[in-house]
């Protein structure tokens, strides 16, 4: 069922077996595992079913670290899956390992612990193909570039056939029809109330922006509020533990990571058509789209003490291309030519007939492939793993939000290891493309500047602030995502990642959530 | 931007390739014309001995350099040392224009 706290009498207490705080990818995934079961579940959502500016404003934060371009977290039913582009990939085996050259690296679990949940996670994300990286080329019927595996390896990212899965709309009906899972909209968790010894959470205080207050009493509680808010809620829950719940070791909010993102190099292909065809989006017969890029090999990471890093190649189309002109003339392009442009576009088609013919042939001989257009330029765009750093953190700011709760203060810090890693990847790409004689590579100037902190784009993947560890001296949650020292409090989402890898985190979030749901189910 | 590189990609088999600014960058950072001349002479002798074109001989060196990581970063471009030596070793009058 779907209820709204605004319509409930203030002071209401909701009793349940499991309280899930946050209805994004993690929270909805966990809640769905209990649909139709014997256990009662309350799924709290701060917002409504659609975007509301006043709720979104609760995410406003104070930034004291590296510049952040914009905040792309979304605070309504479905969370940030309401806007994500749906790109998914699994972490590599090396991402889970303790690496002597990466401080604080090493998960207390490995990829094998997540594999039992891989099929279900792919399905939950709407993905049609679940296969290992080295099996995907065969599934697609393609031959990969002959990269030197000691330096580089191919890397696929996958998109769902129907486009990005919006978890809110996709699962609204089944949650609304449920008799044991109650979604409570406009219910902001303001504080987790712990027993006097701090060993259990006995209830969750909730409140609407309009002042309706209540609480949820649950046997088990799971925080699923995202990489910044998970830490914030724990820090705000300080009625028993002055430094916040689970924060005895001053680790909550620390180790904030994102995927620093930046264009690293210009690529000059020998044959633009070959290059665009190879590093392209492939369509599997299921409709899945798989995007091919490259990543650093584990051997090179170890040899040069690098982080993990991947790259995609993007071509900026030459606007005078005959193919683009033809698409405009046929009304197949987003931009329809003005009448004054018609003659010019006809001329462009006529003067670029070789490319037009190539694409017409592709249309009939390779219908799943995109058109290829002479590029004005081709760039290499990289996402790099961020080295865990204690001083990169989320803490509480002095000013307060509309619920009178202290806002998050974000101090995002990046070391030089990330720049060095991106440079090594660009050099490896340059050497490999040179060896294969398929392209030349020019590194961007910023990669050479060793004495300055580069300006990165954040990928909006907030991770690490309640990191998973083998013991409470090293992290906030156990290998089962239980907050150390608090018997019934769990955390789901990318805030538990001890290290980030370089790939988009959602698929891993969903795998971890399914694993956690199985654990919670066994406990209830 | 060294646009001539767009022209030379894959073309070293046919003619001297690297544009002049990269040769100048190589020399400016201490590259040796004497070493380049020695490389060119050696490549000529070897190509004559094997009966292959000089540019084919240089292309083999280039492939090996990229494989082993024997590369230089000149104005941001990643180039094989052998191709820099080859072009630098040529008589300046033969080197490509910028």
Per-residue pLDDT of chain A in tens (524 residues, 90 and over written 9): 999 999 999 999 999 999 999 999 999 999 999 999 999 999 999 999 999 999 999 999 999 988 876 667 999 999 999 999 999 999 999 999 999 999 999 999 999 999 999 999 999 999 999 998 999 999 999 999 999 999 999 999 999 999 999 999 999 999 999 999 999 999 999 999 999 999 999 999 999 999 999 999 999 999 999 999 999 999 999 999 999 999 999 999 999 999 999 999 999 888 888 888 899 889 999 999 999 999 999 999 999 999 999 999 998 777 777 877 887 887 766 565 566 678 888 878 877 777 778 777 776 666 566 777 777 789 999 999 999 999 999 999 999 999 999 999 999 999 999 999 999 999 999 999 999 989 989 999 999 887 777 888 888 899 999 999 999 999 999 999 999 999 999 999 999 999 999 999 999 999 999 999 999 999 99
Question: Cα–Cα–Cα angle for B6, B11, B13, nearest 5°?
Answer: 160
Across the interface, of A270, A426, A441, the residue whose CB is closest to B10 is A270
Query: For residues A184 and A82, what is the distance between their CA atoms, to the nearest angstrom?
Result: 18
Query: What residues have CB less than 8 Å from A162, skipping those under 6 apart?
Result: A126, A287
Answer yes or no: are the C-beta atoms of A443 and A426 closer than 8 Å: yes
Residue among B9, B63, B75 whose CB faces A268 most closely: B9
Whether the per-residue pLDDT at B13 is higher than 50: the answer is: no
Residues of chain A contacting residue B70, judged by C-beta atoms under 8 Å apart: none
Interface probe for B, chosen from A146, A374, A437 (most Cβ of B below 10 Å), is A437
Nearest to A385 by CA among A81, A65, A105, A68: A105
The answer to whether A430 contacts B71, with C-beta atoms less than 8 Å apart, is yes
B67 min Cα distance to partner chain A (Å): 6
Q: Which residue has the higher pLDDT, B25 or A70?
A: B25
φ, ψ (nearest 5 deg) of residue A366 = -140, 70
ipTM of the complex: 0.84
Chain B residue with CA closest to A439: the answer is B9
pLDDT at A348: 80
Chain B environment of A437 (Cβ under 8 Å): 9-10, 63
Instruction: Count the alpha carbons within 13 Å of A225 in the hemisphere toward its beta carbon.
Output: 26
Mind telling me how many Å the CA of A431 is from chain B's nearest CA? Answer: 5
Nearest CA-CA partner of A372 in A272, A296, A451, A469 = A272
Residue A187 CB partners (closer than 8 Å, separation 6+):
A5, A44, A45, A46, A206, A207, A208, A214
A411 min Cα distance to partner chain B (Å) = 32
Per CB-CB distance under 8 Å, the chain A contacts of B76 are 442-445, 448
Residue among A446, A364, A453, A448 nearest A412 (CA): A453
- Mutation for A interface: B25, B72, B77, most A CBs within 10 A: B77
Give contacts of B71 with chain A, Cβ < 8 Å.
Answer: 427, 430-431, 434
Query: What is the per-residue pLDDT for B4?
Result: 42
Residue A387 in tokens: 């080295």
Does A448 lie at the interface with B, CB-CB under 8 angstroms?
Answer: yes
CB contact at 8 A, A225 and A493: yes
Rounded Cα–Cα distance for residues A268 and A442 (Å): 8
**Which residues of chain A neighbour B25 with C-beta distances below 8 Å?**
none
Q: Which residue has the tokens 């701060």?
A: A46
Is A442 in the B-facing interface, judged by CB distances under 8 Å? yes
Backbone Cα Rg of chain B = 12
Scanning every residue of chain B, which has its alpha carbon at the shortest distance from the alpha carbon of A428? B69
> Chain A residue with minimal CA distance to B83?
A434
CB contact under 8 A, A268 and B66: no
Question: Which candidate, A330, A381, A22, A304, places its Cα nearest to that of A187?
Answer: A22
Check: CB of residue A190 under 8 Å from CB of residue A44. Answer: no
- For B49-83, write each residue's pLDDT tens digit: 999 988 888 889 999 999 999 999 998 999 999 98
Of B1, B5, B69, the CB nearest to A431: B69
Q: Which residues of B touch A378 (CB under 8 A)?
A: none
At A449 the three-state DSSP class reads: coil
Enter the tokens of residue B89: 């070793």
Q: Which of A268, A431, A432 sits opposite B5 (nearest CB)?
A: A268
CB A173 within 8 A of CB A3: no
Name residue, tokens 């995907």. A136
Could you tell me which residues are beta bridge partners of residue A43? A20, A183
Nearest-angstrom CA–CA distance, A191 and A203: 9
Contact B76 A445 (CB under 8 A): yes
CA A495 distance to own-chain centroid = 11
Decide if pLDDT at B7 tops 60: no
Structure tokens at A397: 């700011």
d(CA A379, CA A381): 6
Please calculate the CA angle A7-A185-A210 and round it to the nearest 5 degrees.
55
Contacts B1 to A, Cβ<8 Å: 266, 442
In this prediction, residue B98 carries a pLDDT of: 44
Of residues A330 and B30, more confidently modeled: B30
Taking an 8 Å cut-off on Cβ atoms, the answer to whether B78 and A445 are in contact is no
Taking the Cβ of residue A427 and every Cβ of chain B, the question of whether any pair is shorter than 8 Å is answered with: yes
Nearest CA in chain A to B81: A431
| CA of B22 vs chain A CAs: smallest distance (Å) | 12
Task: Mutate one of A150, A304, A431 to test the B interface: name it (highest B CB count within 10 A).
Answer: A431
pTM strictly above 0.95: no
Nearest to A137 by CA among A273, A284, A277, A274: A284
Question: How much is the pLDDT for B58?
Answer: 86
Which residues in chain B have their CB less than 8 angstroms from residue A270's CB? 9-10
Helix, strand, coil share (%) of chain B residues, nearest 5: 55, 10, 35
CB contact under 8 A, A435 and B9: no
Provide the shortest C-alpha distance from residue A153 to chain B (in Å).
15
Residue A402, both tokens: 């509309």
CA distances from B91 to A184, B10, B56, B95 (A): 80, 22, 19, 7
Phi and psi angles of residue A282, each rounded to the nearest 5 degrees, phi first: -100, 145
């Amino acid at each position: 069922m779907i209820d709204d706290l605004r319509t409930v009498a203030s002071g209401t207490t909701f009793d349940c077996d499991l309280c899930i705080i946050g209805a994004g990818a993690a929270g909805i995934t966990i809640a769905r595992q209990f649909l139709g079961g014997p256990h009662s579940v309350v799924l709290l959502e701060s917002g409504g079913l659609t975007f509301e500016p006043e709720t979104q404003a609760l995410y406003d934060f104070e930034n004291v670290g590296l510049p952040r371009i914009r905040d792309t977290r979304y605070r309504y039913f479905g969370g940030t899956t309401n806007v994500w582009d749906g790109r998914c990939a699994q972490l590599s085996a090396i991402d889970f390992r303790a690496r002597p050259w990466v401080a604080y690296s090493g998960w207390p679990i490995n990829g094998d612990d997540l594999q039992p949940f891989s099929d279900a996670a792919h399905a939950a994300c709407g993905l049609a193909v679940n296969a290992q990286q080295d099996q995907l080329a065969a599934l697609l019927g393609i031959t990969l570039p002959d990269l030197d595996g000691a330096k580089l390896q191919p890397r696929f990212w996958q998109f769902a056939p129907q486009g990005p899965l919006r978890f809110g709309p996709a699962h609204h009906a089944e949650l609304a029809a449920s008799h044991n899972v109650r979604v409570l909209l406009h219910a902001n968790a303001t504080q987790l109330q712990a027993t006097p010894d701090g060993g259990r959470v006995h209830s969750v205080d909730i409140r609407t922006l309009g002042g309706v207050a209540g609480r949820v009493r649950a046997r088990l509680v799971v925080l699923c509020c995202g990489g910044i808010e998970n830490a914030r809620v724990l820090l705000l829950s300080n009625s028993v533990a002055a430094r916040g719940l689970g924060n005895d070791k001053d680790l909550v909010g620390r180790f904030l990571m994102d995927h620093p993102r930046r264009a690293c190099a210009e690529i000059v292909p020998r044959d633009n058509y070959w290059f665009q065809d190879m590093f392209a989006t492939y369509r599997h017969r299921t409709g899945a789209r798989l995007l091919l890029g490259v990543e650093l090999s584990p051997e090179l990471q170890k040899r040069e003490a690098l982080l993990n890093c991947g790259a995609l190649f993007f071509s900026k189309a030459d606007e005078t291309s005959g193919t683009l002109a033809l698409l405009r003339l046929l009304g197949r392009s987003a931009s329809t030519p003005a009448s004054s442009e018609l003659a010019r576009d006809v001329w462009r088609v006529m003067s670029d007939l070789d490319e037009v013919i190539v694409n017409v042939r592709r249309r009939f001989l390779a219908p799943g492939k995109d058109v290829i257009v002479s590029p004005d330029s081709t760039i290499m765009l990289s996402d790099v793993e961020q080295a865990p750093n204690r001083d990169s953190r989320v803490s509480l700011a002095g000013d307060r939000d509309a619920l009178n709760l202290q806002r998050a203060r974000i101090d995002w810090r990046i070391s030089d290891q990330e720049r060095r890693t991106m440079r090594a990847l660009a050099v490896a790409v340059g050497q490999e493309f040179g060896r294969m004689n398929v392209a030349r590579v020019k590194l961007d100037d910023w990669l050479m500047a060793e004495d300055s902190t580069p300006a990165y784009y954040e990928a909006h993947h907030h991770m690490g602030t309640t990191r998973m560890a083998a013991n409470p001296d090293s992290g906030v949650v156990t290998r089962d995502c239980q907050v150390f020292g608090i018997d019934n409090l769990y955390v789901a989402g990318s805030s538990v990642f001890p290290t980030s890898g370089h790939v988009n985190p959602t698929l891993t979030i969903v795998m971890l959530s399914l694993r956690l749901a199985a654990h919670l189910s066994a406990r209830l | 931007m060294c646009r001539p590189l767009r022209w030379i990609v894959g073309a070293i088999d046919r003619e001297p390739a690297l544009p002049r600014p990269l040769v100048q960058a190589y020399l400016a950072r201490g590259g040796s014309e004497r070493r380049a001349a020695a490389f060119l002479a050696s490549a000529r002798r070897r190509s004559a001995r094997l009966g292959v074109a000089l540019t084919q001989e240089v292309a083999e060196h280039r492939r090996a350099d990229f494989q082993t990581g024997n590369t230089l970063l000149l104005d941001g471009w990643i180039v094989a040392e052998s191709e820099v030596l080859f072009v630098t070793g040529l008589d300046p009058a033969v080197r490509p224009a910028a």
